[in-house]
Structures are given as structure tokens and as C-alpha cells.
Amino acid sequence: MKPFAYERADETARAVSTVAGSHGHATFLGGGTNLVDLMKLGVATPERLVDVTRLPHAEITETKYGGLLIGAAVRNSDLAVHPLVRERYPVLSEAILAGASGQIRNMATIGGNLLQRTRCPYFQDVSKACNKRAPGSGCPARHGEHRELAIIGHSEHCVATHPSDMAVALAALGAEVHVHGGQGLWSIPLTDLHRLPGEMPQRDTILAPEDLITHVELPPLPLARNSRYRKVRDRASFAFALVSLAAAVEVDGGNVADCRIAFGGIAHKPWRARKAEETLRGRPATPDAFGAAADAELADARPLRDNGFKLLLARNLFVRVLTDLVDG
Amino acid sequence: MAEVATRAIGAPVRRIEGRAKVTGAARYAVEHDPGEVAYGWIVQAQVARGKITDIDDAEARSQPGVLHVLWHGNAPRLEEVSDAELAVFQEPRVAYRGQIVAAVVADNPEAAREAARLVRVKVHEEPHDVGLRADHPHLYKPDKVNPSFPSDTDKGDVDAALARAEVTIDHTYSTPAYHNNAMEPHATLARWDGDRLTVYDSNQGAAAHRAPLAKAFGLEPEQVRVLAEHVGGGFGSKGTPRPQMIVAAMLARISGRAVKLPVTRQQMFAFTGYRTPTIQRMRLGATGDGRITAIEHRVFEQTSQIREFAEQAATPTRVMYATDNLRTSHRLVRLDVPTPSWMRAPGECPGMYALESAIDELALAVGIDPIELRIRNDADAEPDSGKPFSSRNLVACLREGADRFGWADRDPRQRQRDGRWFIGSGVAASTYPAYQRDAEATARVQPDGSFRVGIAAADIGTGARTALTQIAADTLGVPVERVRVDIGDSALPRAGVAGGSMGTSSWGAAVAKACEALLAEMERGGSEAHADTKAEIEAKKDLARHAFGAQFAEVRVDGETGEIRVSRLLGVFAAGRIVNPVTARSQFIGGMTMGMGMALFEESVMDRRYGDYLNHDLAQYHVPANADVADIEVAWIEEDDPELNRIGTKGIGEIGIVGTAAAIANAVHHATGLRFRALPIHLDGLVGAGT
Ligand SMILES: Cc1cc2nc3c(=O)[nH]c(=O)nc-3n(C[C@H](O)[C@H](O)[C@H](O)COP(=O)(O)OP(=O)(O)OC[C@H]3O[C@@H](n4cnc5c(N)ncnc54)[C@H](O)[C@@H]3O)c2cc1C
Ligand code: SF4
């Protein structure tokens, strides 16, 4: 493990400038549940860690519009059990609780969860090629072991998936991410935070190294009270999603009045299912309509040799979750 | 032989070292404090086959705190050892990806690890072959299979019987590689005092580890002491020495310090052993009313270039069902892979998956209930050898299990539903040999009237120490609190490894004999006695001795997503006398849970282009989580078998994993109508099965 310096930041601007001035050698540290593992494996080799868990963004507060402002240093466990989250955004609580283990969720922060790296096995093993870790070295997963990897939005350079469950719920809920970066304060929709791999799989997100996530903001969304997260994985707990679905739906007179839907486990980013949402709005809330909407969304999917099962799984999961939500 | 009076034996005595373990007081290998210590780290080969042309360790050596970098160019010469995996740094050849090619010793583990990363290994890479196939041109017949069974057997005329059979089954089943993944990774702490070597090692038998270690370093066994008082599991992978033990001793010698060398979880997937993948062709012939007339079980497996390990997967078929025509065979191929080794119930575990799946297919083909079919084909004598059984209660286990499980209410029709879930149930038999190996023990009465017993046995988390204490207490006629049993030290009287489910039978007999001798000695005014069970074992009758069991599984399969849930598991075992019902239950449910892992989750995945196991950590190599184990029940039929050993035990450590995977696979078939003949059964093939 490469020797590194550690410092605990107590001022946001200082933390950002430390990383900005380090020429890429310093990195923010959240709970460390992903970054420290990657350092032990030699995948991440920062020279300085700037611990951002004591910065003043560790609270969950209600916004004046009736949404929630969630500090990036809030622990995953605390967010999952927050009464307002449970009441207004159950999909978010369920998604977090479907991820990792109790111990990991106690350590993991919201910022770190969003920026956790792919679980592609080649990425985690420095003795092997991987375009994401070592740009230009190749993507052995594409023709190798990719059963758990992407079916949509991938490129010839990378077929990895984003592993976060929480991010899928946040994508469905239309969350905004607040950033304190080298260029000041800005924010973007969560669905624009993560990238598709394209020609630059080494970049998971649009953030620069010194861009610190300070908050995630949830808009008020009454329909999210009727929302759900369902995750399909290889064992009953403590495994990453093969496919997951976050959905919120409101039905009026047997028709879908409005809905928010996102897939996990199928792409390089949480996959907001906008085509499916559009297809559904105003249509009858029936399994057939749900199936047609899922088909519309997944029409562009290009499964790899060994993960074709994910396509039907994603469709069936979509129909199941929406049907359950509508049936109450 | 005197009857052992039963008081502690059979009682639910709590694990004696339990408190020390949960409070952290119990020390595991590298937790011992030897004073001034240095830390080792291993460097692994990154090609599957080749020759090291040079190792550049300059940068590694220049790191602060680094003491030495060891590799074949500068390592001390070892004496020849029979297991070539232990001949570390003796030659430049790379036999598999992940093999140990260098090691670093430094003042602290961080420096050692970083220096290991900086060692540059230059290799002339050669094309490698890591793919097992049933038609591999280099398949060969090993002289014997583990531990010393014939590779092939052939009784009667299998081909003629198959040709005549009214019903035949011919299917190929396969299992992937599995890694033992004990909770405590392999680890060694080595210290030299002059020419005496002491190692604290995480292993399944201190005495068995001493001899090869002494041999490798050209020492007399008396110059070497191996200690393994507490061990966090092994499941076979710590039954024979692993190379880190040799590396630790080398690093300690070279640095003049005590050296701690822990193996990482990732490294465990390379050089600490695993179960070979298997391809098994099963052919059965039967009459229309389900009497088996022929069985053929052909097994294809891999081993490494440097050591032969032949898993005895077809041997349970030599034991299970009555038939006049029985043929079994094992074929191996040497590949550029790590050496496979023992893993919980080597042989029986994969072999019974194939046999018990094929039996289920036969039951369906002849239209007979699978329990009835097994009862109909129960054997009076060991089918292959013709030897009588000392006891055989397979049928009793099946009947008892059927009662408890509610088998009579089972609707044999497939694809029964509960909403979107398919529900099904399956059954399979279990078996495991009842071995006993000779051992020695001492027993001594202390001035305060308490007793102390010594034997180089191992407790790898099984409860062996507790069972031996119960046996000693009963023999001596005192409460367990008055007896202390010392184990896990090669300086204690010689004993075999914790393996082959024979610990309690082998060590327990020696302990009982020593205690009995002590009582006689005390009559004469003495205070110490020694016993050796060699003679009584040699005098045993030539019988077939095996434990049997029956496993039942109920599964639910989501017809939309394909998710599989094991809603119930029941195992009923006939394994001789049960010394401690609490620790025995743990052994059984532990084995069955591993069997569930084998059925549904576990699989060491290899990318053949690279040649190593890719999913080398516990986030990727899935063992069952608590949430996967819903309702698990264990029962046993106590056997009173006087032909076993003084204690009357058959061994319970391994039988729990045998048959579970077949029971679950059979249940999946009953639930969905789909037969999966390759493990693990992932949901991939079940998505949308209900539509
Ligand atoms: C065995 C295991 C199983 C798991 N299973 C699941 C699962 O099923 N589902 C799931 O969703 N997750 C799972 N996880 C992943 C877990 O959720 C993440 O490790 C965790 O959320 C990361 O949070 P952290 O605070 O520990 O991040 P860290 O490890 O501290 O950081 C991760 C990354 O985020 C960056 N970072 C941290 N905070 C900020 C910030 N405020 N601004 C900018 N950058 C920041 C760091 O620089 C680093 O690059 C699992 C992890 C493990 C080890
Ligand atoms: S899929 Fe992406 S992360 Fe995985 S090996 Fe290819 S480039 Fe690397």
C-alpha cells in the first residue's frame, strides 16, 4: 500500500483548495469503505487523503419547498431511517437498506456512495488490463467475465455498471447534487452526474477531482410516497444488484397520472427510464402497458454474451414493481 | 475395551474456549506476540506459465523499513519436499498464475506490502492451458485417488447391463472450482532460536505440519515446534502445509527476527488450495420397477503441473446403491493452474451431487417416488467391495426425514405455485466414510486432583477440544470442569490432522485410552499415563464403515425474476454416537449451509486468458448470507455401532455438505420442471420461467 498523508478537513473551502492544488495527488475521503479497499488493492494510489466527514454537511434538513437537503457526510444508515425519508421517499430508504451490510452503511457517506467505483472484477485487479483503471490497456470484460455488467449504454471501451443502489433511487426522485468546486458553488441533476463510458471510461462522473459534493437535494414529490425499490441479486442480501428498479407512481382513474422510474445494475450510471415514463403518462395502469413501457425503454439494450438474462429480468422486474405499486 | 460411562458424552456442553474467543482473549496465529517482530509480504506471479528471467528488487529494497527481498536468486536452498508447492524460491519456473515468486520482509506490514508492489518480476511467458474439458487430450489415469483409493473400479459387465436395461439415464453434471474460504486466512508467525524453529500457524494439525517443515529446512523434527491452539476454520485447506509457512520461516531466518506472514483473502484464491472443478458423466440402468442394474460414474478433474491431487469424486458411488454392475473412474489433466486440494468432504461432496441428481432423474423416469427408489436399492453390503457394513441406516434417515419434512403430502407434479412463486421439494442421500487413525495421548493427575490431558489434536472451530474434554471426563469419572485438554501443539503426543471427519474418533479413542491407563496407574500410585491406539486400530475387523444421511430441501422460485429461495432445509444423519449435540448441530448446519452455497452461489470464476480466479474476495465469491438460510433443521438417529472405535463415533464434520446441493437442485427441478446439471444454479436460466 502506497504511503499516504491523512488530514481531517474542518473547512470546506480549505478541503477543496487542498485537493485542487495537489495536481491529482490528493483525494477526498468519506467513510473509506470503497476508497480504502481500492488503496489496499493498489487501484487507487492517492498521496493525501482529505477526510471530509467532519465538514459541516452532516445534517438532513427540510427545505422551504418541502423537499430535503441531505448533507454529503450523512451516513447511509442515518439517511435510510430518517422519518421524513421513510414517509415521503420510501424508495430511497429501501434502496439504501438493500445495499451492502449494516456495518458498511454505518460508515458509508452519501457523497462516497455516489462516487463509489464499479465492481467490475478486472477494474479491481491491477494485474489485469482495464480501460477504466489504465486507459488504453483494453477491456477484458467485454469478451470475458461480464455476467454482472452493463446491457445498455456501454461502449466498446467499457461495459462496467455503477454499483450504487442509493443512486438509483435518487435518480428516480430527480435529486440535485450540490457541488463546491474549484470554480465555486454549482449544482446539477443527479442524472447528469454520472457519465456513460464512451471513449473515456476512466471518468465515472463529470466532476473534477477537486469538486466536493456538499449536499444532495430532493425536490418535493408527493407521488414518491407511493414508491418502491426492488433489487434482484445472486443471494438474499449483501450482494450487488444484477438488476434493480426504483419506481414511484400516481394513478388517477385507472390511468398513470405521473411516474418516476430508474433502473440499477444495467448501465454505467443509474438509468433513469424517461422513455418508459413518457410512454406511461396518461396510459392505463395495466401490466400490458407496463410491459410496453419497459420494452420502449430497453429497445436500445445490447446485452453481452453472458448477460442476456438481464434484459428479460429488467422487463419483468419493471412490470412487477409497477403492478405492485398500483395494486397498493 | 472398557465401556465408556456416559455422562458428559451426549450432553450439550458449551464450547470450552467460547468465552476466550468472543472476548478476543484467544490468540490466533499472527496475533501472538513474540517480542521484536518483522512482517512479511508475498509477491505473486502474474503469468500462468513461464520462466522468471530476472527480478529487479532495487526499488523495493530502497523503501524505508525494508529488510530483505527474497526470491529464487537469493533464497536459501531447501531440502526436497514431497509437495512441490512448498519448494518456494527454488527455481525460476512459474507453474500457475498467483504462485509465490518473491517475498519481502520489513519493519512494518505497510512497508512490506508497498515494497512487494514494487518488486519487478521479469518473466519469459509461455502459452498456457487452464481449461478443463472431458475430451482434453492430456487426460490421464492417476495411480490412486485421494487419499489412497483405486482410480478405477469395474465390477460385473456395465455395458451389457446398460444395453439390457429397461430404463437408462445418461447425463453429465459439472461443478465449478470452489475455494474453502475459512474465516481466518492462512497465516504464520515464525521464529528461530539458534537452529530451533517455532511457528505459530493457522492449521488443522500441528504434528502433521512439523514433519514437512523440518524436512524442508533439514532439521530433526525435535528442532521444530508448531503451535496452532486456536484456528479460525480450515475446511481442508489447512490440512497440509501451505507455502506461506515455508516463506515465513525463510524470512525469519534471513532477517534474524520473528516474522509474521498473513495471507490475504485474494492470495488464498491462488496458493492455499481449492476444490477442483469436476465434469461427471453418470450412466444408470434400471428395470421398469426401479431396480438399479448398472451404474457408471466417470469423473474428469484437474490438477496442477507441480503436484498431483486427485479428488475421489466417484468413490461414494462405490458405497451407495446395490448393483451387480458398477464401474467408476477418475481422469485428471495437468493444467497451468494452482494445485487443488482437500475441501470439505473431498470426493463425496461433488460426487454425490452427480449421483443423487441422476438418481432423482431415474426416479422420474421410472415414475417412482425418489425416497422409495432409494429404499428399493439400498445395499446389504458395500456394493463395490462386498464388505459388510458395520452399520448402515440410510433407510432410517430417509424415513425419519420424510416424516419430519411432511414428504407424504408432497404432490409429485411439477410447477406447483403460490402466486408468482413456484414451490418444489427435493431429497438426496448423504454419506461419508467413518475413518479412524492411530494417535497417542497422555493423561496426568495434578496435585490439586484435577486432570490434564495432552494430544496434538486441532480444534479449528469444530468444538473438538470440548468433545475431547467430555470423553476424558467420562472416562475418568469426573465433571468436565476438572479436566483440561491441551491441543494444538506439535510438542504434545502425536495425532493426525483434523480431516476426514475423524478427529473425535481418532483423538477421542487415544484420550479415552490414556485416561483409562491413568486410572490404572493411579491405583499403583502413579500420576501419569500414555496411550497409543495403533494396535487396536490394526486389530479392527475388515468392515465397510460409513455414516449416512438424508437431506430434504424446499425451494421457492420467483417465476418472473428467477430468484431462488431455499425456504426449508432438513438433514437427518446416522453418524454413530453424537458426543455433543450443540457442537454437532453446528457442524451439520454449517455443512448444509455450505451445501446451499454450492447449489446456488459459490463458484470460483476463471478468465482463461489470464488463468487465475477472478472473483477472489468475499464480495465477489458468494457464500450464503444469513438471509439465505431461512429454516434449517437437523436431526440424527443415534447408532450403537460397536465396530467403530472406543467412542462409537463416525464423524460429523463433512457429511453435512454431502447431498445438500443435489437436494436443492432436485427441488428446483420439482418446482420449475427445469433440470440444471451445472452448478451453481443462478437465476439466469430461470428468469421468466413462469411466463
Ligand atoms: C462488501 C461490500 C458490499 C457492498 N455492497 C453494496 C451494495 O449492495 N449496494 C451499494 O450501493 N453499495 C454497496 N457497497 C458500496 C458502499 O455503498 C460504498 O462503499 C459506500 O457507499 C462508499 O461510501 P464511503 O463514504 O465509504 O466512500 P469512500 O470510500 O470514502 O469514497 C468513495 C469515493 O468517493 C469520493 N468522495 C467521498 N466523499 C466525497 C464528497 N463529499 N465529494 C466528492 N467525493 C467524495 C472519494 O474520494 C472516493 O473516490 C458495498 C461495499 C462493500 C465493501
Ligand atoms: S468493463 Fe470497464 S471497468 Fe471492466 S474491464 Fe472493461 S474497462 Fe475496465
Tell whether A46 is covered by a domain. no
Measured CA to CA, the distance from residue B615 to residue B617 in angstroms comes to 6
Q: Is B288 on the interface with A (CB under 8 A)?
A: no
Tell whether A10 is covered by a domain. no
Surface of B (17-46) touching A: CB under 8 A: 46
Measured CA to CA, the distance from residue A56 to residue A11 in angstroms comes to 8
Using a CB-CB distance cutoff of 8 angstroms, which residues of chain B are in contact with residue A119?
619-620
- Please tell me whether the overall predicted TM-score, pTM, comes out greater than 0.95 for this model: yes
Spacing, Cα A139 to ligand 1 middle (Å)? 23
Share in percent of chain B as helix, strand, coil (round to 5)? 30, 25, 45
Ligand 2 pocket, CB under 6 A? A 118, 120, 122-123, 130-132, 139-141, 149, 158-160, 201
Report strand pairing: A48-51 vs A26-29.
parallel
ipTM surpassing 0.85, yes or no? yes
Show the 3-state SS of chain A: CCCCEEEECCCHHHHHHHHHCCCCCEEEECCCCCHHHHHHCCCCCCCEEEECCCCCCCCEEECCCCCEEEECCCEHHHHHHCHHHHHHCHHHHHHHHCCCCHHHHHHCEHHHHHCCCCCCCCCCCCCCCCCCCCCCCCCHHHHCCCCCCCCCCCECCECCCCCCCHHHHHHHHCCEEEEEECCEEEEEEHHHCECCCCCCCCCCECCCCCCEEEEEEECCCHHHHCEEEEEECCCCCCCCCCEEEEEEEEEECCEEEEEEEEEECCCCCCEECHHHHHHHCCCECCHHHHHHHHHHHHCCCCCCCCCCHHHHHHHHHHHHHHHHHHHC
pLDDT tens sequence across B255-303: 999 999 999 999 999 999 999 999 999 999 999 999 999 999 999 999 9
Q: Is B117 on the interface with A (CB under 8 A)?
A: yes
Spacing, Cα B448 to ligand 1 middle (Å)? 58
pLDDT tens sequence across A286-303: 999 999 999 999 999 999
Q: The CATH number of the domain where A311 resides is what?
A: 3.30.390.50
Task: Report the SS3 class of residue B40.
Answer: strand
Whether residue B680 has a cis bond before it, omega within 30° of 0: yes
Measured CA to CA, the distance from residue B373 to residue B462 in angstroms comes to 35
> Which residue from A2, A236, A313 is facing B561, i.e. has the nearest CB?
A313
pLDDT above 70 as % of chain B: 99
CATH class of B148-178+275-434+543-685: alpha beta
The type of residue at A186 is W
Give me chain B's average pLDDT, please. 97
Tell whether A223 is covered by a domain. no
Using a CB-CB distance cutoff of 8 angstroms, which residues of chain B are in contact with residue A121?
605, 614-615, 620
Tell whether A239 is covered by a domain. yes
pLDDT tens sequence across B481-521: 999 999 999 999 999 999 999 999 999 999 999 999 999 99
Residue B654 among the catalytic residues = yes
What average pLDDT score do residues B558-565 get? Answer: 98
| CATH for the B32-127+181-271 domain, from 3.40.50.10210, 3.40.50.11440, 3.30.365.10, 3.40.50.300 | 3.30.365.10
Which of B308, B382, B602, B654 is flagged as catalytic? B654
How many CA atoms lie less than 13 Å away from B463 in the CB half-sphere?
Answer: 22
Closest CA to B425 of B172, B662, B689, B623: B662
**Are the CB atoms for B619 and B678 separated by under 8 Å?**
no
What average pLDDT score do residues B156-182 get? Answer: 98
Cβ neighbors of B659 (< 8 A, separation 6 or more) are B352, B353, B356, B428, B429, B430, B431, B549, B550, B551, B595
For A318, the domain range is 228-327
Measured CA to CA, the distance from residue B373 to residue B380 in angstroms comes to 15
Cβ neighbors of B367 (< 8 A, separation 6 or more) are none
Closest CA to B675 of B657, B689, B688: B689
Spacing, Cα A159 to ligand 2 middle (Å)? 6
The pLDDT value recorded for residue A30 is: 98
Architecture of domain B18-27+435-538: 2-Layer Sandwich (3.30)
pLDDT at B344 over 80: yes
At B8, is the pLDDT very low, low, confident or very high (cuts 50, 70, 90)?
Answer: very high
What average pLDDT score do residues A260-269 get? Answer: 98
Closest CA to B48 of B286, B304, B300, B379: B304
pLDDT at A328 over 90: no
Question: Which residue from B minimizes the CA distance to A144?
Answer: B607
What average pLDDT score do residues B431-444 get? Answer: 98
Cell matching residue B465: 477440544
Tell whether A58 is covered by a domain. no
pLDDT at B4 over 70: no
pLDDT at B1 over 70: no
**Are the CB atoms for A321 and A173 separated by under 8 Å?**
no
The pLDDT value recorded for residue B329 is: 98
> Which residue from B46, B622, B688 is facing A239, i.e. has the nearest CB?
B622
The pLDDT value recorded for residue A1 is: 77
The pLDDT value recorded for residue B6 is: 63
Q: How many domains are there within chain A?
A: 1
Measured CA to CA, the distance from residue B679 to residue B297 in angstroms comes to 18
Using a CB-CB distance cutoff of 8 angstroms, which residues of chain A are in contact with residue B687?
309, 312-313, 316
CB–CB of B683 and A119 under 8 A? no
pLDDT tens sequence across B622-674: 999 999 999 999 999 989 999 999 999 999 999 999 999 999 999 999 999 99
> Which residue from B628, B684, B688 is facing A235, i.e. has the nearest CB?
B628
pLDDT above 90 as % of chain A: 98
Q: Is B601 on the interface with A (CB under 8 A)?
A: yes
Distance from CA of B620 to the nearest CA of A (A): 8
At A2, is the pLDDT very low, low, confident or very high (cuts 50, 70, 90)?
Answer: confident
pLDDT at B2 over 50: no
Domains B32-127+181-271 and B148-178+275-434+543-685 share a fold: yes
What are the boundaries of each domain within chain B?
18-27+435-538, 32-127+181-271, 148-178+275-434+543-685
Q: Name the H helices within B167-289.
A: 206-216, 243-255, 265-271
